[in-house]
Structure 1
Amino acid sequence: MSSYPVHTIESAPAQSRPVLQQLQQAFGTIPNIAGAMAGSPVLINGFIGLFERVHASSLSEPQIQTLLLTNAVTNASEWPVAFHTALALKEGVHPADVDAIREGALPEDVGLAALSALARTLIETRGRLAESDRRRFFEAGFTAEQMLEVIAVVAASTITNYTGSVTRPSLEAQFEAFAWHAPAA
């Protein structure tokens, strides 16, 4: 049981309310993880700024969702895995590619595989890429600028992943079909 409340617009600190209103408009609901983040105006306001920029990058929404799902699996954060599974499928990521990521494997789609591999490697090596990692990413058709954008996506998702792991918000009914549990360590 979590000791962190899942705030509503009404219960959140005043400085967190504009972000919750923005998320309500974007998703039609306030994701439970955002309600948990709202307990800290510093956290939720920092998150939303980066979140907005990530979604305005040169990467497509299926590519971003691939990264976010990969990051959640790599960080073994259960709420974000379910949430980003739903969004990846909604954005048109092939179900087999979504399943592969959820199982810790790479998607069959070459571009998505390059993104997923880079994100996983960034997390696992704390950003210390080998030249072969860089080369694989560029050979898949991505640019140096996009590599930096992937770092921004990893940073944004790390906020969500760590918040989910610390606050352990309940999974909303619409995401229960995508529930995921981290493998035992």
Structure 2
Amino acid sequence: MFTEHTLESAPPASRRAMESTIRHLGHLPPAVARLASSPHLLDGFLKLSAMFEQTTLDPVAREVVVMVVATRNECHVCVEMHTGKLRTLGADAELIAALREQKPLDDVRLEAVRQFTLEVLRTAGGVVDEDLRAFLAHGYTEQNALEVVMGIGTYTMSTLANRLTRA
């Protein structure tokens, strides 16, 4: 139902973000082509995801946050894209499988990120002190806790939009 835009068919305000995506990835993913129907959503997501990539969470921990949101929201295209990103980052097959299957992770530090992300989602941010302390006890910081919230917000937007557009 949603248009899978090309650079020529997209709203003019979406074209710069699409061109940037093509330069960065070497192609235009169908999800981006569909999100182009809303220049504001596309630009907002790309800016927020770029900012999330600059947070102090390590790259694999960021991907844990993304995969928790993607699997919870059943965004299959997101799960596939971020499975590929995890592979690029050198994540082992067991970690990727556990994330895809929504199972506990063997790495206790990454499991702390997974559990904290789930708790933020479950409580809509009303995480009790005990659960926050458990996250912090694994070497994470208050800044990291807020960065998890940023990742949840960013990837909730994209997973819902990707599902709506049937990306």
**Counterpart pick for 2:160 among 151, 159, 162:** 162
In 1, Cα distance between equivalents of 2:152 and 2:60: 15
Counterpart contact for 1:101–1:107, Cα < 8 Å: yes
Counterpart contact for 1:78–1:164, Cα < 8 Å: no
Corresponding position: 1:10 with 2:8: yes
- Deviation, 1:125, is 2.1
- Deviation, 1:152, is 0.8
In 2, Cα distance between equivalents of 1:31 and 1:13: 17
In 1, Cα distance between equivalents of 2:109 and 2:8: 42
Alignment-derived partner of residue 110 in structure 2: 112
In 1, Cα distance between equivalents of 2:32 and 2:66: 15
How many residues align? The count is 167
Stretches of structure 1 that go unaligned for 5 or more consecutive residues are 170-185
- Deviation, 1:53, is 0.7
Paired AA for residue 15 in structure 1: A
Paired AA for residue 166 in structure 1: L
**Counterpart pick for 2:36 among 35, 38, 58:** 38
Alignment-derived partner of residue 85 in structure 2: 87
Corresponding position: 1:151 with 2:149: yes
**Counterpart pick for 2:134 among 133, 136, 139:** 136
In 2, Cα distance between equivalents of 1:136 and 1:41: 40
TM-score by length of 2: 0.94
Deviates more, 1:65-74 or 1:116-125: 116-125
TM-score by length of 1: 0.86
Q: Alpha-carbon deviations, 1:109-133, whole Å to 9, x = none?
A: 1221111111122222222212222
- Deviation, 1:167, is 0.9
Please list every run of at least 4 consecutive aligned residues from structure 1 whose deviation after the TM superposition is greater than 4 angstroms. none
Counterpart contact for 1:74–1:123, Cα < 8 Å: no
Stretches of structure 2 that go unaligned for 5 or more consecutive residues are none
- Deviation, 1:29, is 1.3
Q: What is the root-mean-square deviation in Å for CA atoms of aligned residues? A: 1.2
In 1, Cα distance between equivalents of 2:20 and 2:70: 23
Alignment-derived partner of residue 73 in structure 2: 75
Counterpart contact for 1:63–1:112, Cα < 8 Å: yes
Q: Identity of counterpart residues, as a percentage?
A: 26
Deviates more, 1:160-169 or 1:59-68: 59-68
- Look up the SS of the partner of 1:129 in the other structure: coil
